[in-house]
Structures are given as structure tokens and as C-alpha cells.
Chains A and B, each alone.
Chain A
């Protein structure tokens, strides 16, 4: 029986951030990571000869306060990756911070005119959203402006602004976070949420770390001087008198702790780790129903040369989605367990700015394809790779693929422990108490809100405040 003040389940960014804050408050902290390696979604997959493809290629929500408080020493390879729609007809849309209107005008003059107003409106709404997501209780916000967005889909909102399908399809990708469809009510909130984040001091920016996300994990490890146990798979959370008492590992070992912070998904924490029925039957049922049916697959291509697209910077993030309707078709196919005819994906070439990820002279192209079915057989995986290669080969004549690797959503969660988090529209406008607290006292969640560390910071602060 080992003892500690607080136990953190999962050694990813959220878990390590929570652990660092708990340790700063003077608590004895143990981090229990099921795998033998830390990082979770921030790991790299190695394939081919000397290629390291980060599972998460872009960073868009890292909490600046975490960076400041923990004095994380981070080096960015790219600070602001321009959202770019790669079009079949070659009229690519580059939505860079200043040149967007010119690029949009190729498709529609009206949209180019509306763009500035759209950005102002988006960022103004995002400021309201930001108050709900940044800190707890520091702003008193009126949610009135955001309330209508609960029922609004991203597709409908974009339809109201623009006429060009090319532009709408490109913008809609950011609303497809974690199994959400841009046609789902409330998905417009996902767009606002993305816009409310900031990276490197730029609102709504998407950045890439030098060395990939593993360097973030490394920085957090240096900041968090805590007891880290790898290979410690938490199989149960133990309760006593309705409050959390510790955890039991798959090995049978128990660790007593008066605070448990879990970076596993809400569903896994409450329905699988807690004793059956402990959170209430109705709540358990509603959580089961919220299970996502689709996910994101990763396809990494090792290339002999950096792929270049006409008029597009190599450090951009490329969206492949021809029309807004492509999303609807893709979701219905993925939900039915089929690979969509037209794949929707976001791709980056991280080696354009960071040569450490591939052997000298060679390059990586990593595509996040979604939606796809959660599990795929080998034939579907081969098909997926072939389709991704074909989608880029049409723009890059003579593209030579040295090696490739594909991971299905099911493989990502089983191999890297990354969770089936579904973007919960109902929680977008909730307060942090609703997002992080559970019906069990002293059991907190910190796996919410993507790789930001923010949930870890706030969960730790709440747990510390509860105890004192």
C-alpha cells in the first residue's frame, strides 16, 4: 500500500499539467500511466527508416498561463499555420492572417468582401467564449450572445456568411473536432471555441512545436517533479463513504489517495473505472449514448521531397474538402462503417520547418482523416492510404512515397491511450465546475478541451481549494 495526497491518472499533457500544479501546492503526487511511455496523444509514431510522425501535428489551445506558471521552455517551428483549402481545380484558398481576401476573391468577390466582417464577428464572439474557457470565475460574462449558437450548426452559420462552397468547406473543418459533424446543432460553437484559443500570442492561431509535441511532454516533465509510475494501469477507482479513496491497478496493487484527477475521458472515468452504478443509472446511460461513432485516422507518408502546392506556403495546414456537402456524405458513410468516397482531411508537412523528424532531405506528410469508422480492417486501411496518396499526387506530379503508416481511431486509442473524447456541445457553454467535477467528491476530470493543459491546471486548483 503506497500513499500520496493526490493521484493523477494518465501521463499525457493534461495529467502532467495537473500533477505539476498539485506538486507546486506542496502535495505528494503520483502519476499513474498505463503505458510504458508518457505523452499519450503527444507521442510520435516511428516508421520507415528514421521517420517520426507526431500523433498530434498541430497545437492550437495550449494554455499560456500553464506555459508561464510552469516556465515551460518551448520552441516553436511554426507560429501561425495558415488554414488552406486545397482545391481539385488548383484554385487553392490560403486564409493567412493578411492575404486571405485576395485568395477568396478568386472564388467569390462577395465572400472576399464579407471576410473582414466575418473575422471581426468571429473574434468578437470568441471573446465571449474565451471568458467561459480561460479562467474560472474571473469574468462575469453574459452568455446571451452565445446561447443561439447552441442550436446552430457550423454549416448553417457559414452558409449565412458566404456563397462559395470552397471557402465554407475549408472553414468547416475546424468544427469537426472529435466526432462532431459541421451539420450537428451546436457545432458552430466549436468554430468559436477554436477562434477563442490563442497560440504564441495570436488569437485563433495554430502552431507547431520544434521537435513535435514530445518536446512539450519533455518540458512538462522537467517542470513537474513528481513520482511517475509507468506501466501502472488503473483498473478501478476506489471509494469510501461516497468520496474517492484511491485507485487499484491492474496488477492488483492499490494506491491510497484523497484526491484523484483523471485525464481519461469522462465516460471511461465514470462508467468504467468507478464501481458500476456509483454515478447514478440515468447518468451512466446518457454517457453511453454520447459515445462517438466516428473518429480520426492518421496517415503518415514518408516522401523523398517536400510537396509543394502552387501559391501555398509549405507551413500551412491543408484542408481537403471539396464541398460542404462532402462532410454530410462522409459522416453517413463513416457511421455506417464504410470509408467515405471523398475523404475529408487536414494535412501538414511538419518537416518543412522542422527537419529533425525525418532523415536529411526527406519529408513527412501527415494527414488527419475524419470522419472514418472507429475500426477498420487491413483492406480498408490499405484503401485509405491509397486514397490519401492519390489526393496529394494529383497536386504534386511525381510524388514519391518512400514509406507509409496508417493508424485507425481504434488503434490510436489502444496503442497510445488517447481517449474517445467527443466534443460535448452541451459543455461548450458550461462552467468549469460542470466540465471537471464528477458526482464523486475529490474526483476530478482533466482530459477535457484538447491538448491545452488548461483543464489540468483548473482541476488541480479546484482540488486544492476543496481541500483547504
Chain B
């Protein structure tokens, strides 16, 4: 049995100095090429190249695709022009969140859905009710993140004028590639058939060398994600998998902005709008350098919530976390207490203070893929 690798694996393996790997969506990926914190900082000041082939991408097409997406997604896609995209959620009947992603109009009757976590059975089953065809796309994808991203593309000969949340097919020195900007801020993604993956990688790395372009691993992009204040499925929460699930609610993950209450037809609408949620998503600055993932949070001696992903932020030079917390304790500046487990440095439990902050943590012009 061979490794389930991305089209860039040969180059990734050569660059992975620590031989540090993980899998996401069943694909082998570099956790970090060298120093994850350095890679995260490079995305802020120069530019990094990230293998994002593990993203789940499906093409939905058919005469009734618009009707189908009107039922599936929490926002109306009927006004999208070809090439435009928006972010939306899809919910279970009970209003629980099954997934989040970007939906882009590809053609008249075709849409591309991109998400970090797959939900094949649910969407395929629903699509079949509308005679909408669904196929997974396995292209190689690379993201360029950082202030120099545009300049590198220009130097490489790609027309990089592209609005955020849009995509364009373009011809790049003999290769048909798809250029998209689905990341939260800035940043570009380039998609190309798996066979030509290495050509794309080599071209970008060569052109990017004078700009200080370096590859970045999953830990670095997780840091950027966290700094941008985005809760991700699987990493931060277990997406609803039962068809009638009521949890997690979009509100508890700070995603209620992706629900358009005036959009009348989406699945789970009534339950979602009626749901009473007492918790919300906030950012947490922890007063130490040790991250505290999935740890209870005390407010005035009472448990008021818990952290989700927590990582050291090299940009803020302290540990930060996403947290689900009672709305009453979610005001920015609210002081909370958490307990860190013993570690080699401090072999005892210790109480650390943390403060609620607005999201995103960092609004610098970086992008996350």
C-alpha cells in the first residue's frame, strides 16, 4: 500500500527537514518544515507556500443546482455571478452545524464547494433528490499567504488582479490553472491537475526565492487560522453528523453571521432560528506561553465555558485560544481563570489568568488559506 500523498509530496518531503508529518482528511501533510513559529511569522512579513490539497472540494452541477443549493446552504447563492463566491453553512434538520465552506459559481449550472471537512454522504444524498451531480475534485492546491503574494504571482507571470471571494481560470505559461481567493484576507490559491503539481511548486518556489518565499506546514496555518479567529470543524468542534442533531449551533461558534434569516428555504432553518444558545465564541489571551486547549474556564469561581484550540501566537508572543463561553461572561476584557496541567517546567497544577478579547486577534494584512 502506498502513501496517500498530495501531488506535491516529492517536494514537500525534500523540504521537510524535521520529517514531521500529520494527516488531515486522510492525506499526509507536513506538520512543520522546520520551525512552525518562524513559518507563521514569515506569512506575516514575507510570504509562505502552503500545500492545501487536503481541502475537500466538490463540483455540483445540473439544471436544478440552484434549487438544491437554496435548500442546502444558509445563504442565497442565486445572485452570484460566475467566478464569485460566498461563505455559507449547511445544517442538519435539527439546526446543528454539519459544515461550513465557500461556494463558488463555476458556470451557469455548476458550483464548486470548498470545505475543510468532508460531508460527502449528506450532500450527495440530498443532491440526488434534485438530480444534481456531485463529484469530488482531486487537484493539487497551493496557497500563497503573505504581503508579497501578489508580487510573486506577478513575477511568475500570472495576472493576479482578483477580488477576494472569487475565482478565475487562467492560462499560465502552458498550464491551465484556477486562481482563487477564498482565504479570509489577502492570499491566493492556485489549483492545477495533480500530474503537473511539481511544475507549479517549482515555478513558484523559484520565482518566490528573491521574496523570501518558504514552505509552511499545518501548524503554521493553524496558528494563522487561530489568529484570524476562525473555528474549524474537527479541530475546534465536532460537526453534527446525525441528521436531526441540534448541536453545535452556529451561534456557539461565532458563525451566526453566515446565516441569512431572510433566506427562506434552507435546511434546518426553523430549528436554527428558534434555538436558544447561551454560549458564544470569543478570543482568549492567556497570560503565559503555554497553550491550554480544551480547558475549563472559571468566571468568579464558576465554570463559564471552555477553550477550543489553543496555540502559542508568535505574533502576540503569548498563548491564545478560541473559547466557548456564557454570553454573560463574553464581554471583551472579562477576566477568567484556567488551570494548566503539570509539565516538565512546572510539575504542579497552576492557575493562570486569561482575558476575553475581540476576534480576530490579529487583523494584519495576511491571509489564511
Q: Which of A275-283, A295-303, A415-423, A450-458 contacts B (4 or more CB under 8 A)?
A: A275-283
Q: Return the chain B residue nearest A277 by Cβ.
A: B71
Contact B264 A277 (CB under 8 A): no
Cα separation A286 to B243 with both chains bound (whole Å):
9
Contact A281 B270 (CB under 8 A): no
Closest-CB distance, A110 to chain B (whole angstroms): 47
Report A259-314 residues with CB < 8 Å from chain B CB.
Answer: 276-278, 280-286
Check A283/B129 contact, CB under 8 A, given A241-B264, A277-B71. no
- Hey, which chain B residues are within 8 Å of A277, CB to CB? 68, 71-72, 126, 129-130, 265, 267
Q: Return the chain B residue nearest A441 by Cβ.
A: B270
Instruction: Determine whether A90 belongs to the interface, using a CB cutoff of 8 Å to chain B.
Output: no
Contact B130 A281 (CB under 8 A): no
Instruction: Determine whether A242 belongs to the interface, using a CB cutoff of 8 Å to chain B.
Output: yes
Contact B126 A281 (CB under 8 A): yes
Cα separation A283 to B267 with both chains bound (whole Å):
11
Cα separation A117 to B218 with both chains bound (whole Å):
72
Cα separation A242 to B262 with both chains bound (whole Å):
12
Please indicate which of the listed interface residues A241, A283, A285, A439 has the most CB atoms of chain B within 10 Å of its own CB.
A285
Q: Contact check: which of B71, B93, B125, B242 meets A283 at CB < 8 Å?
A: B93
- Hey, which chain B residues are within 8 Å of A283, CB to CB? 93, 243-244
- Hey, which chain B residues are within 8 Å of A282, CB to CB? 92-94, 242-244
Instruction: Determine whether B277 belongs to the interface, using a CB cutoff of 8 Å to chain A.
Output: no
Instruction: Determine whether B122 belongs to the interface, using a CB cutoff of 8 Å to chain A.
Output: yes
Report B67-87 residues with CB < 8 Å from chain A CB.
Answer: 67-68, 71-72
Instruction: Determine whether B197 belongs to the interface, using a CB cutoff of 8 Å to chain A.
Output: no
Please indicate which of the listed interface residues A241, A278, A280, A281 has the most CB atoms of chain B within 10 Å of its own CB.
A281
Q: Return the chain A residue nearest B70 by Cβ.
A: A277
Check A281/B125 contact, CB under 8 A, given A276-B67, A276-B130. yes
Check A280/B125 contact, CB under 8 A, given A285-B243, A286-B243. no
Report B48-105 residues with CB < 8 Å from chain A CB.
Answer: 67-68, 71-72, 92-94
Q: Return the chain A residue nearest B122 by Cβ.
A: A281
Instruction: Determine whether B291 belongs to the interface, using a CB cutoff of 8 Å to chain A.
Output: no
Closest-CB distance, B58 to chain A (whole angstroms): 16
Interface size for B (C-beta < 8 A) is: 20
Report B264-297 residues with CB < 8 Å from chain A CB.
Answer: 264-265, 267-268, 270
Cα separation A283 to B122 with both chains bound (whole Å):
12
Cα separation A283 to B125 with both chains bound (whole Å):
12
Check A281/B67 contact, CB under 8 A, given A276-B129, A286-B243. no
Closest-CB distance, B131 to chain A (whole angstroms): 9
Cα separation A282 to B121 with both chains bound (whole Å):
11
- Hey, which chain B residues are within 8 Å of A241, CB to CB? 264
Report B113-147 residues with CB < 8 Å from chain A CB.
Answer: 122, 125-126, 129-130
Please indicate which of the listed interface residues A277, A284, A285 has the most CB atoms of chain B within 10 Å of its own CB.
A277
- Hey, which chain A residues are within 8 Å of B92, CB to CB? 282
Q: Contact check: which of B71, B122, B242, B268 meets A276 at CB < 8 Å?
A: B71
Closest-CB distance, B128 to chain A (whole angstroms): 10
Contact A281 B267 (CB under 8 A): yes
- Hey, which chain A residues are within 8 Å of B93, CB to CB? 280-283
Cα separation A278 to B130 with both chains bound (whole Å):
12
Closest-CB distance, B277 to chain A (whole angstroms): 20
Report A231-249 residues with CB < 8 Å from chain B CB.
Answer: 241-242
- Hey, which chain B residues are within 8 Å of A285, CB to CB? 125, 243
- Hey, which chain B residues are within 8 Å of A276, CB to CB? 67-68, 71, 129-130
Contact A242 B264 (CB under 8 A): yes
Q: Return the chain A residue nearest B131 by Cβ.
A: A276
Q: Return the chain B residue nearest A284 by Cβ.
A: B129
Q: Return the chain B residue nearest A242 by Cβ.
A: B264
Closest-CB distance, B264 to chain A (whole angstroms): 7
Cα separation A281 to B269 with both chains bound (whole Å):
12
- Hey, which chain A residues are within 8 Å of B244, CB to CB? 282-283
Q: Contact check: which of A242, A284, A286 meets B270 at CB < 8 Å?
A: A242
Closest-CB distance, B342 to chain A (whole angstroms): 44
Cα separation A284 to B122 with both chains bound (whole Å):
12
Contact B264 A280 (CB under 8 A): no
- Hey, which chain A residues are within 8 Å of B71, CB to CB? 276-278, 281
Contact A281 B264 (CB under 8 A): no
- Hey, which chain A residues are within 8 Å of B122, CB to CB? 281
Cα separation A329 to B268 with both chains bound (whole Å):
42
- Hey, which chain A residues are within 8 Å of B265, CB to CB? 277-278
Cα separation A439 to B126 with both chains bound (whole Å):
18
Report B7-31 residues with CB < 8 Å from chain A CB.
Answer: none
Closest-CB distance, B287 to chain A (whole angstroms): 44
- Hey, which chain B residues are within 8 Å of A284, CB to CB? 129
Cα separation A439 to B243 with both chains bound (whole Å):
15
Report B205-249 residues with CB < 8 Å from chain A CB.
Answer: 242-244
Closest-CB distance, A131 to chain B (whole angstroms): 28
Closest-CB distance, A267 to chain B (whole angstroms): 13
- Hey, which chain A residues are within 8 Å of B267, CB to CB? 277, 280-281
Cα separation A251 to B244 with both chains bound (whole Å):
37
Cα separation A145 to B74 with both chains bound (whole Å):
44
Q: Return the chain B residue nearest A279 by Cβ.
A: B93
Closest-CB distance, A285 to chain B (whole angstroms): 6
Cα separation A277 to B268 with both chains bound (whole Å):
10
Closest-CB distance, A281 to chain B (whole angstroms): 5
Report B315-333 residues with CB < 8 Å from chain A CB.
Answer: none
Closest-CB distance, B240 to chain A (whole angstroms): 10
Closest-CB distance, B169 to chain A (whole angstroms): 31
Contact A280 B268 (CB under 8 A): yes
Cα separation A242 to B261 with both chains bound (whole Å):
13
- Hey, which chain A residues are within 8 Å of B129, CB to CB? 276-277, 281, 284
Q: Return the chain A residue nearest B64 by Cβ.
A: A276
Closest-CB distance, A269 to chain B (whole angstroms): 16
Cα separation A276 to B92 with both chains bound (whole Å):
16
Cα separation A455 to B126 with both chains bound (whole Å):
31
Cα separation A285 to B129 with both chains bound (whole Å):
10
Cα separation A277 to B127 with both chains bound (whole Å):
10
Q: Return the chain A residue nearest B93 by Cβ.
A: A280
Q: Return the chain A residue nearest B268 by Cβ.
A: A280
Q: Return the chain A residue nearest B121 by Cβ.
A: A285
- Hey, which chain A residues are within 8 Å of B268, CB to CB? 280
Cα separation A286 to B94 with both chains bound (whole Å):
14
Closest-CB distance, B241 to chain A (whole angstroms): 11
Q: Return the chain A residue nearest B123 by Cβ.
A: A281
Q: Return the chain B residue nearest A286 by Cβ.
A: B243
Please indicate which of the listed interface residues A241, A276, A283, A439 has the most CB atoms of chain B within 10 Å of its own CB.
A276
Closest-CB distance, B163 to chain A (whole angstroms): 31
Report A74-89 residues with CB < 8 Å from chain B CB.
Answer: none
- Hey, which chain B residues are within 8 Å of A278, CB to CB? 71, 265
Q: Return the chain B residue nearest A283 by Cβ.
A: B93
Cα separation A280 to B272 with both chains bound (whole Å):
12
Cα separation A162 to B356 with both chains bound (whole Å):
70
Q: Return the chain A residue nearest B126 by Cβ.
A: A281
Kindly list the 6 A-B residue pairs having the minimum CB-CB distance in the complex, ordered from nearest. A282-B243, A280-B93, A277-B71, A282-B93, A281-B126, A276-B129
Binding site for A on B (CB under 8 A): 67-68, 71-72, 92-94, 122, 125-126, 129-130, 242-244, 264-265, 267-268, 270
Q: List 6 A-B contacts (CB under 8 A).
A: A277-B71, A277-B72, A281-B93, A281-B243, A285-B125, A439-B270
Could you list 9 further interchain pairs (A-B, Cβ under 8 angstroms) beyond the known A278-B71, A281-B122, A439-B270?
A242-B270, A277-B126, A277-B267, A278-B265, A280-B243, A281-B71, A282-B242, A282-B243, A283-B243
